[in-house]
Each structure stands twice: as structure tokens, then as C-alpha cells.
């Protein structure tokens, strides 16, 4: 199946199309509601915009989990839900929360569909400067970074979640509370629709840019969690929390690049319209080019045939045939041939003169010989 992956078949649209069809089919089969809609009314009943896969691993058997893991490894965007048990324990406040001081990091391993909770305590100055919480995995594990808010009942309610993304040789996820609007990239937005058209994939590439709901934290203790999102194995991770007071230059760079990306997204939307028009025009002139080329080739071919009609051989044969018809002779011979064939007397006279001259010359020699002998 890996040989059909679009990244390895940029020049083979058939292989890429096969990969997309399999991924699209799996997205239907793995979702009971989508499968019910398909069984009742076919593809027309499915909303193409809502075909991003989101599955609950706890409801999957071993075989389906294996298929999900395979497709995820091949690059199919499969989103998973958070285990209901984890959310329930958080709401009940029965989870174990470990401290994560600002400026430190903690490494660990978390089982699939389980979570490790951390408490990050910040003061007024740190809250005002801004805080970043990031998780990385050198083992390229799949995980989710979760942020919980204090519930009125003493538990913790899920407020934010970031799915890990592969960035270079690691997987990572981060939350940035910097007092200005930051964005996260959701790679699954219209992923299946984009895969059907490589050109559309480029224009939609920045459409996954989504604004983060929380841009700042107040002083106090805040609860974060690392959720194991691997299909079978435990997830290896390192979580760190830091104050950006000593990262002012980096913060400004992030603010600037976010603004540039937003502008570029708007530019791409406008450019896509221009591109589609130009592409349609290009296809139109390309079709006309083929038609005009065929027309020119045909005209030149006819011209060559007309040129070849100007031939001596053709003229002689034609005139000879016409002469034969005018003399009532169907033999088709040339006039000279008929004259010679029908005038044996004249030819005979000519031969007679030659013979007479030869005889006279012979007689002269004989006479001379007689005198000499006498």
C-alpha cells in the first residue's frame, strides 16, 4: 500500500487516485453514521466537507485498529477522539496532577488512551509576559496536548487540545499564550477533498490555519495533560513550560510570521481565482492549437498534392491519350509511332538509297581493280 502513497507518486496520478479512494472508503467504513448514510443513499448522502476521519479507538477491534494504524502511517489524516474515561476522571477531579514548574521539562511514557496531568503555576509577571507549553517526541509518537479549566464542581473540563504533528524528525504540539492571536494548523481540514486535486491541495494548504481560542493565562495554577494517541504502543514524550520574557525576539518573529501567513492565505484565495481563469483559457487555446495544427497540416498536404500534379509524365500520357481519341485510334500510341508504322514505302526508299550507294561504291572498286589487273 505504501507504494501508492501520493508523496511517492507525484508523477503517477493513477496510484495517487487509488490511494485516495481507499482512504476515502475507509473513512466511511470506520464511521457507523457515515456507513449508515452511504448504505441508505450512496455517496450523495455524504457531506464531502465533513469527511475528515475521527474515530474512537476504544470502539475499534484489533483488526480495525491495525487498519487505522496502517493508514495513519501512510499519511491518511485520521483524527481520534479522547477516551471518555479520561474526560470523566478529569471532571470528577480524580486524576493525579504532577507539578511542572516554569522553566523545567519532564519526560515520560503514557499508555494509549491514557493521560498524564501536569500543573503549571505562574505568577503575575509571568502571566503578563506570556507562557508557552510544548510537548515533543523524538520517537515520533502520536499524542495530544490538552488544556483543562477548573470546573465549578472541583474537577477539570477540557478547554483546548492540540494533536501532535510531525515536524522534522520529531512530533510536537504546543500552546502559546502570548497576548496576541496565534494560530494552529489543522492538517486534516479538507484533507481528503484536497487529495483529489493536487492543485487544489496547494491553494487549500493554509486553510487549515485556525485561531487558538485562548491567547493568555492568568496568574495561578493551570492544568495540562499529555494524552497517548498511539494505536498500540505507549507514547514517549517530553513536556516543558517556559515564560517568554527571555524570548522577546522570538515572540516578535512569531507574531510577524503569523501575520505574513494570514496575508498569504488571502493572496492565495485571490490567486486561485486568477489561476482557474488562466487555466481554463490555457485549455481553450490548447484545444484550438490542436485544431489549427490539424487544419494547417491538411492544407499543406492538399497543396503538395496539387504541386505533384505538375508533371511531364502526366502531361505526355494525358496528351497522347487525347490524340489517340481524336484520330479514332484506341491504341494510345504517339503520332510519330503511327506514321512510321503506316509508311513502309518511305522507309523502304530510304533503305534503297543506302543500298544503291553501297552498290555504286562496290562497282567503282571493282572497275578500278579490272583496269589495274589488265
Query: Per-block average pLDDT, block size 10, for the chain (374 residues)?
Result: 46 52 54 56 47 58 60 62 92 95 97 95 96 97 94 90 91 96 78 63 84 93 94 91 95 96 94 91 94 96 93 66 53 48 47 51 48 45
In this structure, the strands spanning 156-163 and 143-150 are antiparallel
- Asked if the structure places residue 183 within a domain, the reply is no
One DSSP character per residue, 182-210 reads -EEE-TTTTHHHHHT-HHHHHHTTTTTEE
- Asked if the structure places residue 26 within a domain, the reply is yes
Q: Can you tell me the distance from the alpha carbon of 87 to that of 107, in angstroms, rounded to the nearest whole number?
A: 22
- Asked if the structure places residue 310 within a domain, the reply is no
Q: Can you tell me the distance from the alpha carbon of 195 to that of 215, in angstroms, rounded to the nearest whole number?
A: 32
pTM: 0.62
- Asked if the structure places residue 2 within a domain, the reply is yes
State the Cα torsion 120-121-125-126 to the nearest 10°.
Answer: -10
Judge whether 333 and 324 are in contact, CB under 8 Å: yes
What local confidence, expressed as pLDDT, does residue 229 receive? 86
- Asked if the structure places residue 313 within a domain, the reply is no
Per-residue pLDDT reduced to its tens digit, 201-213? 788 888 888 899 8
Q: Can you tell me the distance from the alpha carbon of 69 to that of 3, in angstroms, rounded to the nearest whole number?
A: 17
Could you tell me the three cell numbers for 11?
508523477
User: Which residues constitute the domain of residue 69?
Assistant: 1-81
The count of structural domains within the chain is: 1
- Asked if the structure places residue 65 within a domain, the reply is yes
What local confidence, expressed as pLDDT, does residue 227 receive? 96
What local confidence, expressed as pLDDT, does residue 340 receive? 46
Long-range pairs for 351-356: beta carbons < 8 A, 24 or more residues apart: none
What local confidence, expressed as pLDDT, does residue 81 receive? 83
Amino acid at each position: 500500500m505504501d507504494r501508492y502513497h501520493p508523496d511517492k507518486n507525484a508523477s503517477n496520478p493513477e496510484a495517487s487516485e487509488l490511494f485516495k479512494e481507499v482512504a476515502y472508503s475507509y473513512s466511511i467504513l470506520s464511521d457507523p453514521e457515515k456507513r449508515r448514510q452511504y448504505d441508505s443513499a450512496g455517496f450523495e448522502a455524504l457531506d464531502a466537507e465533513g469527511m475528515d476521519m475521527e474515530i474512537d479507538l476504544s470502539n475499534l477491534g484489533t483488526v480495525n485498529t491495525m487498519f487505522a494504524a496502517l493508514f495513519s502511517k501512510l499519511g491518511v489524516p485520521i483524527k481520534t477522539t479522547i477516551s471518555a474515561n479520561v474526560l470523566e476522571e478529569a471532571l470528577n477531579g480524580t486524576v493525579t496532577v504532577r507539578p511542572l514548574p516554569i522553566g523545567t521539562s519532564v519526560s515520560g511514557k503514557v499508555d494509549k488512551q491514557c493521560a498524564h496531568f501536569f500543573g503549571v503555576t505562574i505568577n503575575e509577571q509571568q502571566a503578563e509576559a506570556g507562557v508557552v507549553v510544548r510537548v515533543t517526541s523524538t520517537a515520533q509518537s502520536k499524542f495530544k496536548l490538552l488544556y483543562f479549566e477548573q470546573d465549578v464542581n472541583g474537577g477539570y473540563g477540557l478547554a483546548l487540545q492540540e494533536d501532535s504533528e510531525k515536524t522534522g524528525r520529531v512530533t510536537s504540539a504546543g500552546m502559546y499564550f502570548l497576548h496576541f492571536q496565534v494560530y494552529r494548523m489543522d492538517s486534516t481540514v479538507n484533507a481528503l477533498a484536497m487529495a483529489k486535486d493536487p492543485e487544489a491541495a496547494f491553494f487549500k494548504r493554509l486553510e487549515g490555519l485556525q485561531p487558538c481560542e485562548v491567547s493568555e493565562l492568568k496568574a495561578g495554577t493551570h492544568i495540562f495533560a499529555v494524552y497517548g494517541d498511539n494505536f498500540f504502543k505507549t507514547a514517549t514524550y517530553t513536556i516543558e513550560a517556559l515564560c517568554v520574557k527571555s524570548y522577546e525576539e522570538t515572540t516578535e518573529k512569531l507574531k510577524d510570521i503569523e501575520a505574513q501567513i494570514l496575508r498569504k492565505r488571502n493572496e492565495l484565495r485571490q490567486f486561485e481565482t486568477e489561476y482557474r481563469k488562466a487555466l481554463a483559457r490555457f485549455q481553450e487555446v490548447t484545444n484550438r492549437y490542436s485544431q489549427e495544427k490539424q487544419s494547417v497540416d491538411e492544407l499543406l498536404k492538399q497543396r503538395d498534392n496539387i504541386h505533384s500534379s505538375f508533371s511531364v509524365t502526366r502531361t505526355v500520357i494525358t496528351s497522347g491519350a487525347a490524340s489517340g481519341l481524336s484520330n479514332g485510334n484506341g491504341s494510345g500510341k504517339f503520332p510519330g509511332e503511327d506514321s512510321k508504322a503506316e509508311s513502309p514505302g518511305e522507309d523502304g526508299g530510304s533503305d534503297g538509297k543506302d543500298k544503291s550507294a553501297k552498290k555504286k561504291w562496290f562497282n567503282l572498286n571493282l572497275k578500278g581493280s579490272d583496269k589495274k589487273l589488265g
